[in-house]
């Protein structure tokens, strides 16, 4: 038996997209090694039978459901420890994100298991799963092979494609006695939105500004360009957020958000690896930078070597004219 | 209260990192420095001490690594730690994340801290997870990527950015907390502190002395083997336009976007 247990994060009655991708990935890979994918969810009353069974459409055959606190990693470690001990899963899979990292690492300690994070591809090889992880600023791929009873795979955000079919999963309730230390952490408030109406993850188009904007006011050019498109938002690099030019909630990159919009238009961004990991899976990348040696031109689909102060206003006018016509 | 800060020696950011093809491990030779992310953890410890909400008796810097890692400890002490603990043993070389976390937890057990602080990631291995591994071994609650840390009613009140926005979490001591670099602006060590760092107490321990099970550490004890390094698929080179006539450039951009139905 080589079953894969996938943790599925939810919030306010909806499952996380990265988790759904992990379920799809887990189902596809488990099938290749003669096993099934099962999901595990931890939370309250919003985890209805109906909601949980929909995970079957993404490939899970069973959903283990435990009542417990949401948004914290350690209760989930307790739950997964119990499920794996009772059912003997060979792999635990996470779709990425902060909680996935924490739960996967905690589970590795609990089960004396190997763990690989930032995984971009999972493959079946000789009846086992192996995980590929980019390292050294994405210049190399490292392959992880697991020993022991359990291997833990934590995906990079957006690494796994969500594939929806049909089917319903069987929902299995489990009772878990939580560890004493799990109770030492308590969620006071979850999901607080700061930085007002910044929703960079839901936008089809992102206009991102970096240090090359020169000053905080430079973001006006980005906002105007975003305003010319339909469903576009403004994002920012770490450097300018640290400098106080734009809200933290709009930060893209290693310590910020990971996005994959249809169009990512980078203005005055050099394209350091810490930024690249947050936006490289964008469908189309356009970069405007005055330094022709900027690393962003190595992975931009369209690169403009020029002064953004000249290009952005005219581009804004041209987009407006085009959309108006 | 005793605070332990986990620190690590990493290759200097200016040094090009590479994998040693014969060992399959990161080549950690060359210039080294204290992991820059760890300075935020030391600063957080110092601010707790200076804040007066809790009485901080001692700040201890703890590391695992070869002999050269002592320099990271000296730096940590110059930034405010009172003393340091250096776990060093050839048997630990090649430990993966889970094995490293286990070994560090054993070192921390010896100190019985009320709070363990660490940086959100190491500058070399790009691993965000060591805090959660350590916490599970120590049976302590844990939170990572914390950007605000306060004391309220004798417990930690922590804020961080998670999947759905900012979370505020109350955590009772003892706890393992990894801090993000937005949490504070680390101070620079004074010349006096740098000069005095080597005189502060430093204790060296080996794996055996703190009861580490050698079957769980080192390359042999690690449950994940990394190797088979290869280059990622090359991405097709994009189109480059040098802006000479901006009107013409913009026309080209619009055509390019329009072709892809992005307007």
Report pLDDT digits (tens) over A214-261: 999 999 999 999 999 988 999 999 888 877 789 888 999 876 788 889
Give the tokens for residue B172. Answer: 């009772």
B181: closest CA of chain A, how far (Å): 9
CB-CB contact of B7 with B63 (8 Å): yes
| Mean pLDDT computed over B150-164 | 92
Helices (H), A128-249: 219-228, 238-242
Count: domains in chain B: 1
User: What CA–CA distance (Å, rounded) separates B66 from A59?
Assistant: 46
The answer for residues whose C-beta is within 8 angstroms of residue A98's C-beta and 6 or more apart is B144, B145, B160, B162, B163
User: What CA–CA distance (Å, rounded) separates A56 from A299?
Assistant: 37
Q: What is the pLDDT of residue B180?
A: 85
User: Is A243 within 8 Å of chain B by CB?
Assistant: no
Which of A107-116, A276-285, B106-115 is predicted least confidently?
A276-285
| Mean pLDDT computed over B96-112 | 96
Dihedral of alpha carbons B99, A71, A158, A275, sign: negative
| Mean pLDDT computed over A110-121 | 94
Is residue A293's pLDDT more than 60? yes
Nearest by CB: B250 against A113, A138, A311: A311
**β-bridge partners, B9:** B34
Nearest by CB: B136 against A109, A135, A306: A109
CATH classification of the domain holding B163? 3.40.50.620
Nearest by CB: A102 against B126, B132, B258: B132
**Per this entry, what is the length of chain B?**
263
Tell the CATH topology of A205-324.
Rossmann fold (3.40.50)
Element (DSSP H or E) covering residue A320? helix A308-324
- B227 occurs within a structural domain: no
* Beta-carbon separation of A102 and B144 below 8 A: yes
User: What CA–CA distance (Å, rounded) separates A282 from A265?
Assistant: 10
Nearest by CB: B224 against A72, A146, A255: A146
Which of A124-133, A194-203, B15-24, B90-99 is predicted least confidently?
B15-24
**β-bridge partners, A303:** A287, B240
User: What CA–CA distance (Å, rounded) separates B230 from A142?
Assistant: 7
Q: Is A27 left (phi over 0), alpha (psi -120 to 50) or beta?
A: alpha
* Beta-carbon separation of B231 and A148 below 8 A: no
Q: Share the mean pLDDT of chain B.
A: 91
| Domain membership of residue B50 as a residue range | 2-221
User: What CA–CA distance (Å, rounded) separates B228 from A145?
Assistant: 10
* Banded model confidence at residue B112, pLDDT cuts 50, 70, 90: very high
| Mean pLDDT computed over A305-320 | 97
| Mean pLDDT computed over B55-72 | 95
* Beta-carbon separation of A74 and B247 below 8 A: no
Q: Please name the residue that has the structure tokens 């059912």.
A: A87
Give the tokens for residue B238. Answer: 């994009």
CB-CB contact of B224 with A144 (8 Å): yes
Contacts of B47-54 with CB under 8 Å at 24 or more apart are: B47/B184, B48/B3, B48/B115, B48/B149, B48/B151, B49/B3, B49/B80, B51/B151, B53/B150, B53/B151, B54/B1, B54/B151, B54/B154
CA gyration radius for chain B?
A: 22
Chain CA centroid to CA A166, Å:
24
Strands B202-205 and A128-135: unpaired
CATH of A4-184, one of 3.40.50.300, 3.40.50.620, 2.60.40.180, 3.40.50.10140: 3.40.50.620
CA atoms within 13 A on the CB side of B88: 15
- B259 occurs within a structural domain: no
CB-CB contact of A24 with A93 (8 Å): no
B93: closest CA of chain A, how far (Å): 16
Instruction: Express as a percent the part of chain B with pLDDT over 70.
Output: 92
Instruction: Express as a percent the part of chain A with pLDDT over 90.
Output: 79
Residues of A in contact with B171 (CB under 8 A): 184-186
Residues of A in contact with B235 (CB under 8 A): 298-299
Which of A140-149, A245-254, A258-267, B95-104 is predicted least confidently?
A245-254
Residue A168: φ, ψ to 5°: -125, 145
CB atoms within 10 A of CB B49: 19
Candidates B191, B143, B75, B59; CA nearest to A184 is B143
Topology alike, domains A4-184 and A205-324: yes
User: What CA–CA distance (Å, rounded) separates A224 from B57?
Assistant: 54
Candidates A22, A183, A23; CA nearest to B169 is A183
Report pLDDT digits (tens) over A152-206: 999 987 789 999 999 999 999 999 999 999 999 999 999 887 665 567 888 999 9
Is residue B221's pLDDT more than 80? yes
| Mean pLDDT computed over B32-37 | 85
- B237 occurs within a structural domain: no
The answer for residues whose C-beta is within 8 angstroms of residue B236's C-beta and 6 or more apart is none
**Per this entry, what is the length of chain A?**
325
3-state helix/strand/coil string of A271-285: CCHHHHHHHCCCCEE
- B21 occurs within a structural domain: yes
CB-CB contact of A135 with A144 (8 Å): no
3-state helix/strand/coil string of B71-116: HHHHHHHHCCCCEEEEECCHHHCCCCHHHHHHHHHHHHHHHCCCEE
| Mean pLDDT computed over B194-210 | 96
Testing the interface with A: which of B11, B98, B229, B247 to mutate, by most A Cβ within 10 A?
A: B98
Candidates B87, B60, B90; CA nearest to B211 is B87
User: What CA–CA distance (Å, rounded) separates B128 from B107?
Assistant: 20
Residue A125, Cβ density class (10 Å: 0-12 exposed, 13-18 middle, ≥19 buried):
exposed
Residue B19: φ, ψ to 5°: -95, 135
CA dihedral A242, A246, A250, A255 (to 10 degrees): 0
Candidates B94, B256, B123; CA nearest to A288 is B256
> Which value does ipTM take for this structure?
0.87
Is residue B14's pLDDT more than 70? no
Q: Where are the beta strands (DSSP E) in chain B?
A: 2-6, 9-11, 32-34, 58-64, 83-87, 115-119, 142-152, 155-162, 165-171, 175-179, 202-205, 224-230, 239-242
Q: What is the pLDDT of residue B13?
A: 60
Candidates B40, B36, B46; CA nearest to B186 is B40
| Mean pLDDT computed over A122-143 | 90
Shortest CA distance from B37: residue in chain A: A255
* Beta-carbon separation of A192 and B165 below 8 A: yes
Q: Share the mean pLDDT of chain A.
A: 93
What is the domain partition of chain A in residue ranges? 4-184, 205-324
Instruction: Express as a percent the part of chain B with pLDDT over 90.
Output: 74
Q: Which residue has the higher pLDDT, A286 or B236?
A: A286
Is residue A58's pLDDT more than 90? yes
Q: What is the pLDDT of residue A197?
A: 59
């Amino acid at each position: 038996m080589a079953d894969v247990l996938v943790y599925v994060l939810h919030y306010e009655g909806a499952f996380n997209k990265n988790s759904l991708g992990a379920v799809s990935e887990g189902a596809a890979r488990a099938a290749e090694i003669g096993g099934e994918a099962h999901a595990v969810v931890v939370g309250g009353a919003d985890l209805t039978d109906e909601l949980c069974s929909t995970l079957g459409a993404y490939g899970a055959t069973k959903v283990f459901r435990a009542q417990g606190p949401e948004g914290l990693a350690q209760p989930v470690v307790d739950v997964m420890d119990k499920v794996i001990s009772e059912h003997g899963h060979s792999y635990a899979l996470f779709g990425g994100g902060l909680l996935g990292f924490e739960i996967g690492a905690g589970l590795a300690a609990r089960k004396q298991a190997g763990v690989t994070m930032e995984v971009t591809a999972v493959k079946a090889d000789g009846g086992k799963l192996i995980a590929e992880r980019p390292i050294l600023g994405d210049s190399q791929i490292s392959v992880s092979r697991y020993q022991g009873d359990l291997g833990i795979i934590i995906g990079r955000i957006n690494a796994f494609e969500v594939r929806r079919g049909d089917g319903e999963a069987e929902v299995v309730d489990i009772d878990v006695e939580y560890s004493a230390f799990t109770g030492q952490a308590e969620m006071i408030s979850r999901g607080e939105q700061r930085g007002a109406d910044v929703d960079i993850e839901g936008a089809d188009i992102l206009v991102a500004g970096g240090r090359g904007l020169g000053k905080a006011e430079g973001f006006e050019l980005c906002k105007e360009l975003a305003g010319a498109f339909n469903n576009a938002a403004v994002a920012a690099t770490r450097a300018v957020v640290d400098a106080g030019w734009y809200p933290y909630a709009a930060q893209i990159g290693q310590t910020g958000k990971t996005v994959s919009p249809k169009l990512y238009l980078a203005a005055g961004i050099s394209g350091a690896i810490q930024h690249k990991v947050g936006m490289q899976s964008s469908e189309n990348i356009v970069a405007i930078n005055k330094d022709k040696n900027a690393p962003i031109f190595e992975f931009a689909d369209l690169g403009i070597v020029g002064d953004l102060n000249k290009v952005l206003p005219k581009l804004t006018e041209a987009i407006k004219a085009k959309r108006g016509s | 209260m005793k605070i332990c800060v986990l620190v690590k020696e990493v290759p200097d950011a200016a040094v090009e990192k590479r994998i040693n093809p014969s060992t399959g491990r990161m080549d950690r030779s060359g210039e080294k420095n204290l992991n820059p992310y760890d300075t935020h953890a030391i600063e957080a410890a110092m601010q707790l001490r200076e804040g007066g909400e809790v009485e901080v008796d001692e700040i201890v810097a703890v590391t695992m690594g070869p002999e050269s890692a002592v320099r990271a400890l000296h730096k940590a002490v110059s930034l405010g730690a009172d003393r340091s603990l250096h776990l060093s043993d050839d048997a630990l070389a090649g430990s993966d994340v889970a094995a490293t976390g286990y070994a560090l937890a054993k070192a921390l057990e010896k100190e019985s801290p009320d709070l363990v602080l660490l940086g959100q990631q190491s500058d070399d291995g790009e691993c965000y997870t060591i805090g959660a591994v350590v916490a599970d071994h120590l049976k302590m609650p844990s939170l990572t990527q914390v950007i605000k840390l306060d004391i309220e009613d004798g417990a930690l009140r922590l804020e961080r950015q998670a999947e759905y926005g900012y979370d505020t979490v109350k955590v009772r001591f003892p706890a393992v907390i990894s801090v993000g670099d937005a949490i504070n602006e680390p101070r620079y060590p004074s010349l006096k502190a740098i000069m005095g760092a080597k005189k502060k107490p430093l204790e060296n321990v080996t794996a055996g002395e703190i009861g580490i099970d050698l079957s769980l550490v080192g390359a042999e004890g690690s449950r994940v083997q990394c190797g088979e390094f290869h280059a990622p698929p090359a991405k097709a080179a994009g189109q480059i336009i040098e802006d000479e006539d901006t009107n013409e450039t913009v026309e080209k951009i619009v055509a390019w976007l329009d072709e892809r139905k992005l307007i």
